[in-house]
Amino acid sequence: MTRQSTESDIERDPRWLALCARDRAADGQFVYAVRTTGVYCRPSCAARRPLSRNVCFHAGPDEAERAGFRACRRCHPHHESAARQRVRFAIGNTSLGPVLVALGDAGLRAVLFGDDAGELVHDLQSRMPDASLQVDAGGVQAALEAVVDCIEAPHLPLDMPLDLQGSPFQTRVWQAIRHIPPGSTASYGELARRLGVPDSARAVAAACAANPLAVVVPCHRVLAADGRLSGYRWGVARKRALLEREAHA
């Protein structure tokens, strides 16, 4: 098939027309991915329209992530609508720097590391653009203290409900990560095999990068195939410190 005919086929596809129109009614029916950026979006995403030849369509976020694409940080296609959902948060200090803990109505929504309060709040806003964010130091204090205890003493259990919000594939990865005990590690490829998708190591790595619950979902225990620390959303230095702490606990 020639490039010209491929582009023509795509541009006749009703999904392409919905993408061009940024049709909100099409959200939830499919997502589109852009090969040149490796990102997938909602049909209504306000991002610049891609070239049709670079676009492919997927039934939903799970399928797009298995194909190796990552979620757009502008339209958050892997989240259900969180319009007006109240999310309360507070910021505390740990030996690894400031940490933000956020609670939704169903449980713990976010645990984020950062270098200062402004960076932490910006990170939370970017993850939950439609939520009503409220500083609530008193209401979140008990959860904040429990999370800090887990950071400082990783063998301590965290006894509180979690509100993991992501695509079906992401939540499967996050749940699998929670079964890696302190002091142990696994590779991205090993996790992919445990999940029954052995060719999806890159998608597993992307799910780790999107993890909203640092330490609680211990993605720092996931390494590259050769044992390297690889990347970590909150810095490789923090990843190394967490692993060293667990190894000597």
Provide the pairing of β-strand 31-34 with 39-41.
Answer: antiparallel
Q: What is the pLDDT of residue 199?
A: 92
Within a domain: 8: yes
Q: Taking residues 49-77, what's their average pLDDT?
A: 91
> What is the predicted pLDDT for the residue at 143?
96
Q: Are residues 63 and 119 in the same domain?
A: no
Which of 47, 71, 95 is a domain's end point?
71
Question: What confidence tier does 98 reach under pLDDT thresholds 50, 70, 90?
Answer: very high
Determine, yes or no, domain membership for 76. no
Share of the chain above pLDDT 90, in %: 64
137 and 193 both lie in a single domain: no
Phi, psi of 113 (to 5 degrees): -90, 155
Tell whether 34 is covered by a domain: yes
Q: Which of 71, 97, 115 marks a domain boundary?
A: 71
**pLDDT tens track for 164-198:** 988 889 999 999 999 999 999 999 999 999 999 99
Residue 7 DSSP one-character state: H
Kindly state whether residues 148 and 122 are assigned to the same domain. Answer: yes
Q: Give CA–CA dist 46/209, Å, rounded.
A: 23
Q: Is 159 helix (H, G, I), strand (E, B) or coil?
A: coil
- Whether 141 is in a domain gets the answer yes
Per-residue pLDDT band for 121 (boundaries 50, 70, 90) equals very high
Query: By residue range, what is the domain housing residue 8?
Result: 3-71
Weakest-pLDDT range from 10-14, 79-83, 149-153: 79-83
Residue 78: inside a domain: no
CATH number, domain of 128, equals: 3.30.160.70
Q: How many domains does the chain have?
A: 3
Confidence label for 137 from pLDDT (cuts 50, 70 and 90): confident
Mean pLDDT of the chain: 89
Catalytic residues: 219
